[in-house]
Amino acid sequence: PKYDNLLADCLKIRKDLALCDWAYIKLVEKVCAQVYGNSNNRESVVFESYILTQSGFDVLMARSSDNSRLHMLMASDSDIFGSPYWNISDRHYYLLDKSGTKSLYIFTESFPETKPMRLIMTGENKFAAKSSKPRDLKSKRYPDMTASVAVNENLLSFYNDYPSYFEKGDRYTKWRAYAQVPLDKVTKDMLYPALRSYVKGKSENEAVNIILNFVQTAFVYGYDDEVWGGDRPFFSEETIYYPFSDCEDRSILFSRLVRDIVGLEVVLLYYPNHLATAVRFNEDVSGDYLTLKGKKFVVCDPTYVNARVGMTMPKMDNSKAIAVTL
């Protein structure tokens, strides 16, 4: 009964805070570690598997080949970069404990009516607000377009180990995972009023040009390999918080701002070694464009500094660009 009470408490927190699957899984992991003192010991693994299974997740138990440790395998509806998995009954079960274990004995019997975790986030997790020190952001072409913006540090901690993933069989959708996530209330309440006030009364073309230059010039460019030691796309809040960002980070943020502030449809454009965007305007806008399912999308590159709407970065071929819909 005490376990049922704890399960009920976890599910209530999940509902009250509108936690996505990954946030809930991390909550359960922390609870089990608190109860058993270590998230990797046998008791904690069994208990975590129990709570998650009773919460509707498809998990399997496994032990290392030398019988030294128990492991939990989590079924996922998406493919996760950099994590080993086993294909069982047409589902991918991922080892997420970073143990490096490659050989497992797996108990393959799963509980009925359980589902893989869903990594796609489309809503806001209601984490407690812990505002960072505000960062002053300013457009160079429109110097009056300024904003002092903070982010929720609790959200940054959560994003820090969020799995990088792509939808089944399509690696280009990895950026959609970041671009689909709405900005947190802490950040929106500081940034959006300034943007909306500045673009008020402007045409769609003018408004997007303002946002485009803001993203192009308010941030400092930095290569992931130099800053992080490897590829790391950012959620929008991370681009605002961290001192450096690259083409994929800016494209993700720009796509979010245009959709929220101007209300226009945006796609991401992947060229070899570069990511940009294209916007579908309701008015006639000149410049480079692509046609997707009969719709005209005008190129907007948030990394091509001072380029206006309709300008493609040199050496990028729009005829070979791959569009990622949002």
Is residue 244 scored above 70 in pLDDT? Answer: yes
- Tell me what pLDDT residue 224 has: 77
- For the full predicted model, state whether its pTM sits above 0.85: yes
pLDDT, tens digit (0-9, with 9 covering 90-100), for 148-165: 999 999 999 999 989 999
Least confident residue range of 47-61, 126-140, 167-181: 167-181
Inter-residue contact 302 to 212 (CB < 8 Å): yes
- Tell me what pLDDT residue 37 has: 78
- Tell me what pLDDT residue 13 has: 97
Q: What is the mean pLDDT of the chain?
A: 93
223 pLDDT tier (thresholds 50, 70, 90): confident
2 pLDDT tier (thresholds 50, 70, 90): low
Burial of 287: CB neighbours in 10 Å, binned 0-12, 13-18, 19+: middle
Is residue 212 scored above 80 in pLDDT? Answer: yes
Q: Mean pLDDT throughout 123-151?
A: 95
Burial of 308: CB neighbours in 10 Å, binned 0-12, 13-18, 19+: middle
317 pLDDT tier (thresholds 50, 70, 90): very high
> DSSP E strands: which ranges in 20-126?
59-64, 70-75, 78-80, 85-88, 91-95, 104-107
109 pLDDT tier (thresholds 50, 70, 90): confident
Regarding beta strands 220-221 and 244-245, do their DSSP bridges make them parallel or antiparallel, or are they unpaired?
A: parallel
Is residue 116 scored above 70 in pLDDT? Answer: yes
Least confident residue range of 38-52, 105-119, 182-196: 38-52
Is residue 248 scored above 70 in pLDDT? Answer: yes
Is residue 225 scored above 90 in pLDDT? Answer: no
Q: Mean pLDDT throughout 297-322?
A: 97
DSSP state of 272: T
Is residue 203 scored above 90 in pLDDT? Answer: yes
Measured CA distances, 222 to 225, 239, 271 (Å): 9, 11, 19
Is residue 251 scored above 90 in pLDDT? Answer: yes
- Tell me what pLDDT residue 206 has: 98
- Tell me what pLDDT residue 1 has: 59
Least confident residue range of 170-174, 269-273, 293-297: 170-174
Q: Mean pLDDT throughout 75-81?
A: 94
Measured CA distances, 46 to 54, 104, 326 (Å): 12, 16, 38
